[in-house]
A and B are shown apart, each in its own frame.
Chain A
């Protein structure tokens, strides 16, 4: 099918790109500006941004409720740790872990992407449990429940902190570049179509299964990288730490906090989330999970579209005159501000449609 005429017209330089690059530069400059605590914080911001962007491929663009993030992070961290313990150089271990995770995800994806909706969500959660059990039981390789030590990087904590910060940042930039490409390419268009109506997408000639598998693999690939880097960074992993169900919930929550299916939503969401975690939650250690829960509940109930989908211009203007209640779909589409208005083409519907689907689709 010819999609070239309908691709969202987002080429060219947008201010958002510069804001993002400035943000990345700020994170990169952290070792020269502040102490190790902030370097560590910046590493976390980069790490979660990369994870949220990865999840966005399957959860945001394709609209499949995947909760498998922790499975692939765990797989990546175990692969990286085992390779490093076998004597592989650190960076080579990271690359191998990435490729291995991607390969596994492609194989698993081809199988579990046949499920839809609730079944897919349950299947993806089960995947974590299966890998968790394998990591606990296969003790000759994974060290079992006692976990696995990873060689500590030589050169002192300052040097190591910088290495891991730049590694995470590099991963983030890579995922960002891939997201930009997907966002503009035929692949991204196809994924949005699948998100709106999979059967219709199939009808008009999108190779649904191949597209979904690619999206799933992309979403897992960089989780593997992040996992491997994380394993080297903390130099110890255990099954319950690597395959944490909490992580699998946090990452979609971050993407939703920013805005699903957008390039910058997950980055904004991850940064806001990590900073919130550090500033507020650190003071209430006993209530850590409850506060996370409250944040998620408030987010779902009152801000389901995320930060980037609030109409900030309308917030400042006086409220419009009362009019009959618009259908939810058009109200939501109208709430997509700024960048949608710039484009002003029919083709924008492609980008706005996942939202409309959200409102319309009822039961998926």
Chain B
């Protein structure tokens, strides 16, 4: 019994981070109708920034979170404003290839500057033991912060002025423009928020897992999978999808071996794409 609770606990701790990864990706996909291939690199960049601040300056990653978030927001805003906005209404082939190209640049840059060695922030905070179940404090803290960030994003989209503008643009771009919303600016802010979430999540991931540039594609794949499981463009969808993927990987890793976890996730995603592209709790998809 304890083993199952442990597997579920691991899955949920992983899933909270996954949700945080996917929520920004899903936002960009839903609002801008762009598949952001840069997302994985944003996460790794956030992780690296947090790691180097910790290793060389001794800044706690939980403080660095805010700096990373600000830097990544600015980067995302500029990329969207300068490049992606020019083709944002073109077919998928163009937008996807453009973000793919941008990703290659960022990826190469990170490989040259940071090198691809796996790095992890080791905090050694000990762990919380409930019976046989062990919950390391650093993972627990990362999970809570990830959930908190997801919650804040949800609140921002629901209640703030800019959040309402983002939702309005998502619903009907032209009508939103007629209501005086500056669509290009909203796009840039949306992309910035997405990059910010990715970077902050990367900083949290660096506490839990080793970060290396080789994982950019893997993380991107996870964002895809979660979006497809949960449905596009909604925060609750990303949350459900993330937690579901965390649990699935946790169980698949225990029963079949860790190397099968990715294959299971990909196959699940392909099947879902064909059977139910709006996701488990999605409304009608925004194609």
Contacts and interface: CB of A to CB of B under 8 A. Distances in A.
9 contacts: A65-B91, A65-B92, A116-B287, A117-B287, A133-B263, A289-B105, A290-B105, A290-B108, A292-B101
Interface in B103-153: 103-105, 107-109, 112
A181 B261 CA distance: 44
A121 B35 contact: yes
A119 B231 CA distance: 12
Chain B CB within 10 Å, residue with most, of A67, A126, A245, A256: A126
Contact of A253 (B87, B97, B259, B262): B97
Given A122-B228, A296-B97, A361 B91 contact: yes
B51 to A, nearest CB: 22
A289 B106 CA distance: 9
Contact of B104 (A114, A122, A292): A292
Given A130-B266, A297-B98, A65 B93 contact: yes
Report the interface size class on chain A: 35 or more
Contact of B86 (A67, A123, A125, A301): A301
Contact of B87 (A129, A252, A300): A300
B262 A115 contact: no
Given A118-B35, A256-B97, A112 B108 contact: no
A294 B273 contact: no
Contacts, number: 132
B270 interface: yes
A358 B87 CA distance: 11
A245 B220 CA distance: 12
Contact of A122 (B102, B108, B273): B273
Nearest to A358: B91
B194 interface: no
B262 A119 contact: no
A59 B35 CA distance: 17
A200 interface: no
Interface in A329-364: 358, 361-364
Contact of B101 (A287, A297, A361): A297
A151 interface: no
A123 to B, nearest CB: 5
B263 A114 contact: no
B90 A296 contact: no
A92 B228 CA distance: 41
A228 B269 CA distance: 29
B273 A133 contact: no
A114 B274 contact: yes
Given A118-B92, A119-B273, A293-B102, 10 more contacts: A115-B277, A116-B287, A117-B287, A129-B221, A137-B259, A287-B108, A289-B105, A289-B108, A293-B103, A297-B98
A112 B87 contact: no
A119 B287 contact: yes
Nearest to B273: A123
Given A121-B92, A122-B273, A290 B262 contact: no
Contacts of A137: 259-260, 263
A126 B92 contact: no
Contact of A363 (B33, B96, B108, B260): B33
Interface in B226-279: 228, 259-260, 262-263, 266-267, 269-270, 273-274, 277
A81 B104 CA distance: 30
Contacts of B93: 59, 63, 65, 121, 252, 256
A204 B61 CA distance: 60
B266 A126 contact: yes
Contact of A362 (B89, B96, B224): B89
Interface string B66-84: 0000000000000000010
